[in-house]
Structure 1
Amino acid sequence: MKLSELLKIVEGEIVVNSGVNPEEIEIEKVAASDLMSDVLALSEPGSLLVTGLATPQCVRTAGVVGIPVVLIVRNRDIMPETKAAAEMSGVVLCVTKKGMYEVCGILYNTGLKPVYAQ
């Protein structure tokens, strides 16, 4: 699913684009966590990270494991430091007003696959 389509479905918006066209990003798998240690251990490059954390650490963690897009739920305020981390990491940073449970359900019902531990 294209990122632009995904954002329409979850009523999300891009906060930091990092110079990437949302039409060019294809999302097939989703990881959802507020524990960055789980993201480091279980995520796959190219997946979407859904999180309630709005800190620079979540963006840096995504960049380390090759996650191109972070979607922050619950309409959190995004700190300037988090935006700067997204720009430096090349991660697209998005927000939605919806909660994590709802977002995960919506994305699962669209056919996106979960990221599993191997």
Structure 2
Amino acid sequence: MKLSEVRDILKAEVLFGEDKLDREVTSACGSDFMSDVLAYVKNQALLLTGLVNPQVVRTADMMDMKCIAFVRGKHPDENVLELAKERDMVVMSTPMRMYDACGKLYAKGLGGEE
């Protein structure tokens, strides 16, 4: 699934990386616990989270994720966005709750771990 489709499904605002929405993602995960992401997530290309601190970007980068989608309408501050830019990571914000966002993406064919 292209990130442009993710944006449309989530009715998301792209905060960084509008020019990178042609990138493909094949899986996703949703978590506010970065320790769980590090421990259990493999081959995930999209992270959905409500946590808006620099650790989210560092964790996503370590896991080779292409995009972070902040749920519940959350917007990271400039420090977080700058870190995402340095790591060439697309950043979005959706008004949806995490459960709904994950469900909508799953229903459209974006699964979890392969």
TM-score, structure 2 length as denominator?
Answer: 0.91
Corresponding residue number in structure 2 for 1:82: 80
Give, as a single letter, the amino acid of the residue that structure 2 aligns with 1:22: L
Q: Is the 8 A contact 2:44 2:113 kept in 1?
A: no
Give the Cα–Cα distance (whole angstroms) in 2 for the partners of residues 50 and 20 of structure 1. 20
Unaligned runs of 5+ in 1: none
Shift of residue 21, structure 1, vs aligned partner: 2.1
Give, as a single letter, the amino acid of the residue that structure 1 aligns with 2:107: N
Shift of residue 41, structure 1, vs aligned partner: 1.8
Corresponding residue number in structure 2 for 1:102: 100
Corresponding residue number in structure 2 for 1:69: 67
Give the Cα–Cα distance (whole angstroms) in 1 for the partners of residues 6 and 85 of structure 2. 21
Shift of residue 61, structure 1, vs aligned partner: 0.7
Give the Cα–Cα distance (whole angstroms) in 1 for the partners of residues 82 and 70 of structure 2. 15
SS in 1 for 2:14: strand
Give, as a single letter, the amino acid of the residue that structure 1 aligns with 2:20: N
Shift of residue 39, structure 1, vs aligned partner: 1.1
Q: Is the 8 A contact 2:3 2:21 kept in 1?
A: yes
Give the Cα–Cα distance (whole angstroms) in 1 for the partners of residues 50 and 86 of structure 2. 21
Select which of 29, 54, 61 maps to 1:56. 54
Q: Is the 8 A contact 1:13 1:96 kept in 2?
A: yes
Unaligned runs of 5+ in 2: none
Corresponding residue number in structure 2 for 1:6: 6
Give, as a single letter, the amino acid of the residue that structure 2 aligns with 1:82: V
SS in 2 for 1:70: strand
Shift of residue 27, structure 1, vs aligned partner: 1.2
Corresponding residue number in structure 2 for 1:16: 16
Shift of residue 89, structure 1, vs aligned partner: 1.7
Shift of residue 46, structure 1, vs aligned partner: 5.1
SS in 2 for 1:37: helix
Cα deviation, 1:10-56, whole Å, max 9, x if unaligned, reads: 10121011x85211x11111111011011112223451101011111
Query: How many residues end up aligned between the 2 structures?
Result: 114
Shift of residue 98, structure 1, vs aligned partner: 0.7
